[in-house]
Structure 1
Amino acid sequence: MGAAIAYSVRQDSVYEAESAIRLRDVSADLQLIGDTAPTLQDPGQAAALASDRMDDLPLARKVKNALRTPISAQALADAVQSGVELRTALVVIKIKSKTPGVAARVANEYARQASRDVIDQQRAQFARGIQTLREEFRAQRRGRDRDERNPDFDALTRSQFDQAIVRLETLRNFSRGAEVAQRATVPDDPVSPRPVRNAMLGGALGLALALMAAFTRDALDRRLRGTSEIRQELGFPIIGMMSEDGMGATGASLNGNRRPLPEPDIEAVRILRTNLAYLDVDNPPRTVAVTSALPEEGKSTVAAALALALGLSGKRTILLECDLRRPSLAGRLGLQQAPGLSDFLAGTSTPQEVLQVIPLPSEGLVASADGTQGTAGDTLVCVTAGNIPPRPAEMLDSDRMRQLLAQLRDAYDAVVLDTSPLLPVVDTMALLPEMDGIVLCVRSGQTTRDQAKALSLALGHLPTKPTGVVVTAVQPGREESYSYYSYAYGPTAKSS
């Protein structure tokens, strides 16, 4: 106990200041301009992303420059803590400092700069919507110039375009998607040290430290670990696994690719293929979108492996790369990046030019759940992303894309889409209503509870679809790995 008191006396006092920003729902404003409005994230999604970006160095540099403080941007980024109150769409910002006034000033400046960032992002989206309207207006006017009898362009049409653009410009200039909800006040009392508390803890130091270590990890670590936590947060069944060693690999050695999936993951993908069919027993999904909350969660690995497993089971399968911002399948599968999906949607390439065929290996073929068996010479058809377009969201939300999906559904037994992450961009939101099923990839030990909640909110705005979760980056031997990661199953050596 004496040691605890002495330790407390020798420690510098630390003060904590707390501010908060509120993410505002601008959907009511968007209703004024109808279908021409750009798609914006709801406050829950925006709050989760704003919280994740709070410790980014660019934001810390803005705070440093605004305060003109000698504190480094890295030190500011390390000092900030943030969390999300989803019911109120509040992002709570906490700053600790040895000086109470500094803690309050930094917390308030973080709130101000974070609000500005959200507003700037929304203004950029409105600006893109304005540009799209102007391009549509010019296109229709060019049609009028070619044929003065063009019934699609008249004074009324021009007036409608002008009104829509004026409304969008008004929203861009005056709409506020974020505001400072709570300003930090200068704290009167330090949050540490606390001599009385430390003295009491010192009386039972051994047991207390062990308990504190366990509870502190659970309280402060927002990352999801294990299938039980992931299932509880998302509310969807776990239908598959992917080990940490399997991340970035393909289902087999294809087109010279030297990094096939490890054998346990190959079996895991077969299990995923079977479980996918049971998401809807009466109508097994034929078109499936594979997505995630954020990048680097293994969605492309899972999409490629699932498509390969479906092809090896004898199904006519096509793999469609719909992540037009950060494509990766061409390099993994040894294919050409372009021409691809974006070139077809832009009308610069034909279907024959974008379809690429991958011969599938004849070994290791396994019958599917309905008893269908693949044969040597089976192929997997793949359409890579193609050249990166300037407006991928509008391209994926086009009638041409919907017509393509309908044609592929008629031509193939299985259509697998590798889509963009749901939280950073809106590209995938236009595709999900066209799907029969959804596969969500959640990286164990990386995806946070806030991201999982934002993901659930995003899916809640869409029509209900059969949805399953694949837990990725699983480490063998842990609770979530199931027995096929912990044990080997195969022929045993004969005894002499």
Structure 2
Amino acid sequence: MAARLANAVADGYREENIASRNRQVDDAKLFVENQLKTVEEALRKSEQGLLVFREQEGRVFLNEEARQALENYSRLDAELEKLGQIKREASNQLRLLKANEALPDSSPVRVFSDDVQALIAKLNQKLVDLNTDRAALLINYMPKHPLVVELDAKILSVKQEMIKELESKLRTMTDRENAIKESIGRFKERYITLPKAALEQASLEREVKINGDLYATLKQKHQEFLIRGAERIEEVSIIEPAVTPGSPKNAPKATLNLMLSSLIGVLLGFVLAFVRESFDTSIGTIEGVEEFLKVPVLGVIPRVDHKEVEQAIKKVFPETLDAESMELLSRLAPLFDLKGVVAEGYRSLKVNLQFACLDRAVKSLSFASAGLGEGKTTTVINLAITIAQDGRRVLVVDADLRKPAVNSRLGLKREPGLSEVLVGTAQWKDVVQTAPDLMLGKLGFDQVLSAPGVDNLSIITSGHLPPNPSEFFNSQRFVDLIAACEENYDLVMVDCPPILPVADAVLIGPKVDGVVLVYQVGKIGRTPLLRAKTLLENAQAHIVGVVLSNVSAEFSPDYHQYQYYRYSSS
């Protein structure tokens, strides 16, 4: 029962997530399908009516003037029908926008129309971009975060402007519709004397043509929505379903429980002492990490107070920064605080990494962590900036095609990127983003312009999120991409997904010159960390070392040095 309940909840959540992310395409497809059934029935009836007429009356022929009059009448009537279809489509677009206006947390709204005006198309693209940025923010922030709320206000403003334009478009089409109806009325009055059979034949033929053209158009639209529906967005995957255990687990054992309860009281002091020792992360503990993993600790990245970071940013950029720019810069210490403890930590990491790679030529490195939220992406970006400040050309590749973060940390567009290159729809040099892209992004022109070394930094973002990224990293195309990048840059740094949840990092490891593990002590246990290292070694990946991230530091005036006394989780 428990397994069925857990699987039902997981399946329900997954289906709801898929439905919410693809609701707009489904609504549009349903609208076209309903219209398709109606028009198909109308076409069948009109064809049947024309067939019956010809069986009874035969073909009716008119003189040139009458034929031309009927053709003009048919053309106006067809234009009137087409205009009515466009009005219905525009009304449906307007309904979708207004319905979504009260639901700021729903899926991004896209208005699909071949007849949309240039301004509406531009606003629609802006709406898509804003919703993409919002989805990227929600990876790290809650919906009530000021950055998300500010973006919601921009989205609402664009929607309201689109609604205004669509309503204006509907009024224009209504005026055109009335003008066509007046012209049709004049034709009817002028050619009322035409033979009744000829008028009826022309009317039937016109109805068949109109319904046939409309049916073909709707059929094409339906195929387009079927293709969009096949490209469904899935953000939730069930890694392993719940199963019923074959035998009872943790069955009650009264005698054993009583004995253990007695022993706990006696051993409580020893347990407390052991806990204190476990949380004492002095130099001995760092050496313990090296002994446990059998790899060197390349660097220790300290944690600093958020208020101190804001003060340091304001010293460099006295002008008022918005909350979004402040949030982005607070994670990029080497850009604004070259003498701070965080920047020193990354410089120390850079030097130790160079020494660790003396025995072999290293042109590419992947960075991975055992679990989520261990500071891997932050480490990759800041280390890349630090190396670029030495004059070396560095390329950062966001290979996390499940929850990418490089683009949001640097304020860049996510698409096009790595996935487009691996699919074959783009060349890798065409998706590389450099200093000009950073200047035009959310970091700000002045902030990037004043930062040293940014002109040596290049980025390939993740691109669109494919359904099965592992297939990309197990392909020859990915190997060729890494080789091409190594020829054009001094160092290629690949940001990988966590090792334990998915296999992507293990597949990438053997294809680069080395792997750097990022570990936040206390975030996960020692056993999962060792398991992650074992998986990389089994894949024949070369592990260069480990970086300890987000370590709280305290300045000691007695020894004039930093003493790391504990690890904090974030």
The answer on 1:258 being equivalent to 2:329 is yes
Q: Paired residue for 1:348? A: 425
**SS of the counterpart of 2:435?**
strand
8 Å Cα contact 1:276-1:284 kept in structure 2: no
Normalized per residue, the structure richer in strand is 1
The answer on 1:289 being equivalent to 2:370 is no
Q: Paired residue for 1:74? A: none
| 1:465 maps to which of 542, 552, 556 | 542
Q: Paired residue for 1:238? A: 297
Normalized per residue, the structure richer in helix is 2
| 2:511 maps to which of 426, 434, 438 | 434
Deviation at 1:274, TM superposition (A): 1.1
Q: Report how many residues are paired.
A: 297
TM-score scaled to structure 2, two decimals? Answer: 0.46
Q: Which structure 2 segments of 5+ residues have no match?
A: 10-242, 318-323, 439-447, 565-570
Superimposed CA distance per residue, residues 20-77 of structure 1 (whole angstroms, 9 cap, x where no aligned partner): xxxxxxxxxxxxxxxxxxxxxxxxxxxxxxxxxxxxxx97964999xxxxxxxxxxxx
**What amino acid is the match of 2:517?**
L
TM-score scaled to structure 1, two decimals? Answer: 0.52
**SS of the counterpart of 2:424?**
coil
8 Å Cα contact 1:441-1:471 kept in structure 2: yes
Counterparts in 2 of 1:386 and 1:190: CA distance versus 1, 3 Å: same
Q: Paired residue for 2:344? A: 267
**SS of the counterpart of 2:329?**
coil
Q: Paired residue for 1:451? A: 528
Q: How does 1:333-482 map to 2 (within 5 A)?
A: 333-358=410-435, 378-463=455-540, 465-477=542-554
8 Å Cα contact 2:517-2:543 kept in structure 1: no
Deviation at 1:350, TM superposition (A): 2.8
Q: Paired residue for 2:78? A: none
Distance in structure 1 (CA, Å) of the matches to 2:417 and 2:264:
64
Counterparts in 2 of 1:473 and 1:219: CA distance versus 1, 3 Å: closer
8 Å Cα contact 2:473-2:508 kept in structure 1: yes
Q: Paired residue for 1:14? A: none
Once the two structures are overlaid, the 10-residue window that deviates more, 183-192 or 323-332, is 183-192
Distance in structure 2 (CA, Å) of the matches to 1:332 and 1:445:
24
| 1:227 maps to which of 286, 291, 314 | 286
Counterparts in 2 of 1:246 and 1:385: CA distance versus 1, 3 Å: farther
Deviation at 1:462, TM superposition (A): 2.3
Q: Paired residue for 2:398? A: 321
Distance in structure 2 (CA, Å) of the matches to 1:413 and 1:275:
17
Counterparts in 2 of 1:398 and 1:264: CA distance versus 1, 3 Å: same
Counterparts in 2 of 1:347 and 1:64: CA distance versus 1, 3 Å: closer
Distance in structure 2 (CA, Å) of the matches to 1:217 and 1:428:
34
Distance in structure 2 (CA, Å) of the matches to 1:64 and 1:398:
35
Counterparts in 2 of 1:217 and 1:412: CA distance versus 1, 3 Å: same
Q: Paired residue for 1:34? A: none
8 Å Cα contact 2:363-2:492 kept in structure 1: yes
Superimposed CA distance per residue, residues 201-255 of structure 1 (whole angstroms, 9 cap, x where no aligned partner): 5xxxxxx75444112566899xxx94133223211100012223499x9xx9999
8 Å Cα contact 2:301-2:345 kept in structure 1: yes
Counterparts in 2 of 1:450 and 1:282: CA distance versus 1, 3 Å: closer
Counterparts in 2 of 1:213 and 1:324: CA distance versus 1, 3 Å: same
Distance in structure 2 (CA, Å) of the matches to 1:236 and 1:339:
37
**What amino acid is the match of 1:275?**
N
Distance in structure 2 (CA, Å) of the matches to 1:382 and 1:398:
21
The answer on 1:191 being equivalent to 2:250 is no
Counterparts in 2 of 1:246 and 1:324: CA distance versus 1, 3 Å: farther
**What amino acid is the match of 1:191?**
N
Counterparts in 2 of 1:411 and 1:299: CA distance versus 1, 3 Å: same
**What amino acid is the match of 1:240?**
G
Deviation at 1:423, TM superposition (A): 0.8
The answer on 1:307 being equivalent to 2:384 is yes
Distance in structure 2 (CA, Å) of the matches to 1:242 and 1:59:
42
Q: Which structure 1 segments of 5+ residues have no match?
A: 1-57, 66-176, 202-207, 366-373, 488-496
Distance in structure 2 (CA, Å) of the matches to 1:348 and 1:195:
65
**SS of the counterpart of 1:444?**
coil
Q: Paired residue for 1:215? A: 274
